[in-house]
Structure 1
Amino acid sequence: MPLWLIICGLGVTQIIGWGTTYYVLGALSQDIAASTGWPQTLIFGAFSAALLLSGLISRRGGRLVDQLGGRKVMMAGSVCAAGGLMLMGLLPHPVSYVLGWLVLGLAMRFATYDAAFASLTQIVGTGARRAISYLTLFGGLASTVFWPVGHYLALGIGWANTLLVYAALNLFICLPIHWAVLRGARGDRSHEDIHSDATAPLADHHRFKAMALFAAALALNGLVFSSISAHAVPLFAGLGFRGDEAVFMAALIGPSQVASRLGEIVMGRRLTPMQLGLIAFGLLPMAIGLFALMGFSWGAALVFAVLYGASNGLVTIAKGAVPLMLFGPKGYGEVLGIVSAPNLVLNASAPLLFALLLSAVTPQAALLVAGGSALASTLFMLWLARLHPRQA
């Protein structure tokens, strides 16, 4: 099967996979609260529990991809997504709602980027970086597609029936696509015959330190992204922007992600994965720093939103490309699981932690604290690059 067809097929499943799991509450949380009377702590707490579970099983999920192959695991992820959504849609009760989200926690680990990146690597080998870049273009459209789709479906048929529609998309579109396009993503495939580039994977005694540094960079970076993304509109409002201005600033983030990924596809061949990672992680503290230095003005907010979105878009690519370069394709799924686990666990608590921070200090001070975490993530990436100058 042509690689472009595999990427397009996986791209469709990534739009649906992210849109029907991670981005569900962006469109449906208010409808759920209005029709059920459930508190926000329950509605979003179940989502946080799903992210926590996804983090806790991250390494094991990656190992399953290596052992069983991406095809079987991603098909299982589609089934989990459909099952969790059906559980919440058919039985709108707090207990089934929480259980449904826990099942979606499995789906997010088995059917989104980490499993898809590992599947592409099983098919392409060390040349998977370009394929990963193209795939992230599709994933970046998930919120753009499913926030309005979810909103209008909920207006017409209610949130519970909307979740049933989402379940059908996973069962009747994603599942057959994973079966059809991932026939080459076999876990028992030998990596001895995969073409290798000039950069040899790290020796065993360097692996642990490199994994720890990259995991720390991802976790601290993700902590900032999850915190600010969850509170983007109220954060801008707290900085003095009107409601429509705050929404506009938040809306710039998504297109900036896609634009940065397009730029990486066009010009990224000149960059090593390590150089890409340094740029990706470095843009975040730069965005927050410029926002503060320019006095949190309108122009500064525009610069912040664009750089913030660009950083997030490039970090997703770097997350797949840097481990592939450092550790090679063999066991790549488990490596991704290891470096992703701290990030997923922190993502589960980040919105709550940032909400507590906003209640204790001004929005300006909260952003500066976030900037400190972003700077620390960049320093960890610099440390990694200095330890492995040949890869940089």
Structure 2
Amino acid sequence: MTRLPLWIVICGLGLTQIIGWGTTYYMLGALSQDIALSTGWSGTLIFGAFSGALLLSGVISRRGGRLIDRIGGQRVMMAGSLCAAVGLALMGAFPHPVTYCIGWLLLGLAMRFATYDAAFASLTQIVGQGARRAISYLTLFGGLASTVFWPVSHYLALNIGWSHTLLAYAALNLFICLPIHWLVLHAARGDRAAERVSDSATPSLAGRGRLMAITLFATALALNGLVFSAISAHAVPLFQGLGFAGNEAVFMAALIGPSQVASRLGEILIGRHLTPMQLGLIAFGLLPVAVGLFALMGFSWPAAIGFAVLYGASNGLVTIAKGAVPLMLFGTKGYGEVLGVISAPNLILNAAAPLLFSLLLGVVSPQVSLLIAGASALASTLFMLWLTRLHPQHAQ
């Protein structure tokens, strides 16, 4: 089969990322209340199964990356779409606590095999060392997932119910995502494909230096993800606890998604002037700046808007840096496994973050909780700065 133009690959993957994220990670945010009302299940069950899915994604992250390196992104992402279809169909067709939990475990596999990490590794197998721009364009699509699927999920739940909505989402993964992955990732065939497109230069890091770099970047990513996951899960009640009215809190939380997309668009337009390491410093640094300005301005209305915008921009850029920094430091060989190792702590902490932040809000005020989160964000920036200081040749 003739290799497809890169823009077709990116657009195809972009569509599957919108569907993949929208029908798994973001689905519960719009459907949880409908599920609870119609089944009587507790919030612990409904959200606990979701946390279990994220935890499973973290546990298998390295093995998933290694599998992509060995057999190629095409097969793995097709398997991910199939897992999503089966999991969603199981939950929608047989609504029961047991099938609900099993379905979410299958979605945990799908989120590892069919979303960003797998897509980044697949693009790298096709493009090689120059995959950064392709990754940037792909995240622009993925940033639309919540914007598209939150209202779609709400509309479908009102008209056909949550269970039939999940069946419709299963069909999207089976009849749209799976065929697209087969079609556009024909060149993502694993180690041999990666060797054909890799640069002749060998990765500059090996041995102890490689381990140190992976540890520092994984720690920075995990601490940043801990803050983002915690605040995202409690955005509206957090703003309300800071003294904002309900409609004001919803408005400020709604600014986060567009800010993510806007920051990624900005990176596409001017990011070529930044190295991946410089991009990483900016991405991680925006989050403690957002919290610090919010606190210094007395948690006022203008400060809240600025916080939401910077907070969303930080997450938008961190997603790109997550793919670009390892590519620069370690090269294309074994990229899937490296990305899996780096992502594992982040995914595991993401599973625990909403519960941990909820417990924190029950002990201290929202203001203090936000400052503690800001300290974690600052620590993530310092780890990224440490990595940059260790490898200044990559930061210039």
Specify the TM-score bucket, using the shorter chain as the normaliser: over 0.9
Greater mean deviation of Cα atoms: 286-295 or 187-196 = 187-196
Query: How has the CA–CA distance of structure 1 residues 177 and 316 changed in structure 2, closer, same or farther, with 3 Å as cutoff?
Result: same
Query: How has the CA–CA distance of structure 1 residues 208 and 187 changed in structure 2, closer, same or farther, with 3 Å as cutoff?
Result: same
The match for 1:153 among 141, 152, 156 is 156
Paired AA for residue 50 in structure 1:
A
Q: Distance in 1 between matches of 2:186 and 2:196?
A: 18
Q: Distance in 2 between matches of 1:112 and 1:102?
A: 15
What is the root-mean-square deviation in Å for CA atoms of aligned residues? 1.0
8 A Cα contact 1:58 1:337, kept in partner: yes
Paired AA for residue 296 in structure 1:
F
Equivalent runs, 1:336-375 vs 2, <5 Å: 336-375=339-378
Secondary structure of the corresponding residue to residue 192 of structure 2: coil
8 A Cα contact 1:199 1:325, kept in partner: no
8 A Cα contact 2:198 2:332, kept in partner: no
2:43 maps to 40
The match for 1:17 among 16, 20, 30 is 20
8 A Cα contact 1:237 1:243, kept in partner: yes
TM-score normalised by length of structure 1: 0.99
Offset at residue 60 of structure 1 (A): 0.2
The match for 1:232 among 232, 235, 254 is 235
Q: Distance in 2 between matches of 1:199 and 1:376?
A: 31
1:254 maps to 257
Deviations 1:281-307 (A, max 9, x none): 000000000000000000000110000
* Mapped pair 1:68 → 2:100: no
Secondary structure of the corresponding residue to residue 189 of structure 1: helix
Q: Distance in 2 between matches of 1:190 and 1:373?
A: 39
Offset at residue 103 of structure 1 (A): 0.6
Q: Distance in 2 between matches of 1:245 and 1:199?
A: 52
Offset at residue 188 of structure 1 (A): 3.3
8 A Cα contact 2:77 2:114, kept in partner: yes
Secondary structure of the corresponding residue to residue 312 of structure 2: helix
Q: How many residues align?
A: 392
Paired AA for residue 175 in structure 1:
L
Offset at residue 206 of structure 1 (A): 1.1
Q: Distance in 2 between matches of 1:120 and 1:240?
A: 45
Q: Distance in 2 between matches of 1:130 and 1:111?
A: 20
Paired AA for residue 301 in structure 1:
A
Q: Distance in 1 between matches of 2:200 and 2:378?
A: 31
1:87 maps to 90
Equivalent runs, 1:287-302 vs 2, <5 Å: 287-302=290-305
Q: Distance in 1 between matches of 2:200 and 2:349?
A: 34
Offset at residue 201 of structure 1 (A): 3.1
The match for 2:213 among 190, 210, 213 is 210
Q: Distance in 1 between matches of 2:367 and 2:253?
A: 17
Paired AA for residue 386 in structure 1:
R
1:98 maps to 101
Q: Which runs of 4+ in 1 moved over 6 A?
A: none
Q: Distance in 2 between matches of 1:197 and 1:267?
A: 27
8 A Cα contact 1:256 1:306, kept in partner: yes
Q: Distance in 2 between matches of 1:199 and 1:371?
A: 38
8 A Cα contact 1:69 1:187, kept in partner: yes
1:388 maps to 391
Unmatched segments (≥5 aa) in structure 1 = none
Deviations 1:32-73 (A, max 9, x none): 000001010000000000000000000000000000100000
1:181 maps to 184
Query: How has the CA–CA distance of structure 1 residues 265 and 127 changed in structure 2, closer, same or farther, with 3 Å as cutoff?
Result: same
1:264 maps to 267
Offset at residue 196 of structure 1 (A): 2.7
* Mapped pair 1:280 → 2:304: no
Deviations 1:74-112 (A, max 9, x none): 000000000000110011000110010001000000000
Paired AA for residue 53 in structure 1:
L
Q: Distance in 2 between matches of 1:292 and 1:232?
A: 16
Q: Distance in 1 between matches of 2:161 and 2:195?
A: 52
2:128 maps to 125
Unmatched segments (≥5 aa) in structure 2 = none
Paired AA for residue 136 in structure 1:
T
8 A Cα contact 1:133 1:264, kept in partner: yes
Q: Distance in 1 between matches of 2:203 and 2:150?
A: 43
Paired AA for residue 57 in structure 2:
S
8 A Cα contact 1:199 1:391, kept in partner: no
Paired AA for residue 75 in structure 2:
K
Deviations 1:362-381 (A, max 9, x none): 00000000000000000000
Q: Distance in 2 between matches of 1:128 and 1:220?
A: 26
Offset at residue 316 of structure 1 (A): 0.1
8 A Cα contact 1:126 1:197, kept in partner: no
1:78 maps to 81
1:26 maps to 29
Q: Distance in 2 between matches of 1:144 and 1:103?
A: 24
Deviations 1:206-263 (A, max 9, x none): 1110000000000000000000000000000000000000000000000000000000
Offset at residue 202 of structure 1 (A): 1.2
